[in-house]
Amino acid sequence: MKYKALIKFLIVILTIIAYAADAPNINANENTSNTISLGLTIPNIKTTDSIGLAIDDEDFNFFSHGDDGDLIFNSPAISLTHAGKFDFSFIFGSHNKNYNFQTSNEGDYDFLDLIPVDGSASPGEIINDEGLKTIVTKSNLNMLSYSHLWDASDLNLNKDDFLHQLRSQFLTKVGFKANYSQYSTKWDYTNPSNSYTHYSKESISMFSVGPMLRLEAYGEPLNENTDIYYKADISALLSRDSMDAENSYRDNLYIYNASDDRLTMAGIVNLVVGMNNQHESGAVISLTGALDIRNDLPFIAKPICTTGMNCISANYVAQAKAAHLDTRITVSPSINLSVSLDF
């Protein structure tokens, strides 16, 4: 069964949390240490598989997509993280990308046509016989993550051999994780020959929550002030996703819309290698590298006019699907510099 392993993991984590609920003397590893981290992360998030354009000839034979294709948000984004009794992180950034489309020069009658997001027939061209043209997309990203963890050493784990074994090999913490993400993409183009404006815009929002397991281990110290550590965060999440997409032709002569929402299971694995240095002032300075592997960040799958297809035909409309949510595995590297202070 597809989700069998995920369901088993959920049961294990929920069992730990149930034990926590039965333990009246948990101190949750109380301390006053707080860590503020500032870093860069490369989100590597796919927002859509098309910006909704295709090139055709005067007989409406679609023969090229130019640069159109996956839009990947892979510009470095700023990350701000707090770690202490609870953890939260905030990632925000923007990303611009150029898409080039080669139509013919004057007289050959090639067109750059709009492909509606609702799966209906193309209304026609936004560019006619104007050679190489560039469409600039603009994307924005905001991500917020919150987690609360309890030290498993304070819990009664004697009832489960597997969990007891984890505790014997790792510093083990359990708790829950919540995420909210919102990302959007848009472009607009005004044709200088007729002053018509065309645009496309779409947005995705995602909220997920679920149990989380953290495993930590320390390697051999480099010296008396510097040590190396390894960390893995594993989360099983229930995710609610939604999207809205819209594109417009010739000053809103035609406006096309599509929306979708879903409830799905997802997971996140975060792997970290870090180095801590104890400064003479008492502060701990850390440098970490991380890899975030997750499938809770959906993208928008749009109707695409394939090469050789006539996308004003009834046959195209009959098989075209309106823009909808789809899933991929996202792998995002990051690097963070942080300082830990008692306050």
Model pLDDT for residues 205-263, shown as the tens digit of each residue: 999 999 999 999 988 888 888 999 999 999 999 999 999 999 999 999 999 999 999 99
pLDDT the model gives residue 156: 61
Residue at 201: amino acid letter: K
The pTM (predicted TM-score) of the whole model is 0.82
- What CATH number has the domain spanning 4-342? 2.40.128
pLDDT the model gives residue 106: 55
Asked whether 89 and 83 are in contact (CB, 8 A), the reply is: no
Contacting residues for 340 by C-beta, under 8 A, at least 6 apart: 33, 34, 35, 283, 284, 285, 286
Under-50 pLDDT residues of the chain: 1-4, 6-8, 10-32
Its sign, for the CA torsion 18, 21, 23, 28, is: positive
Domain ranges of the chain: 4-342
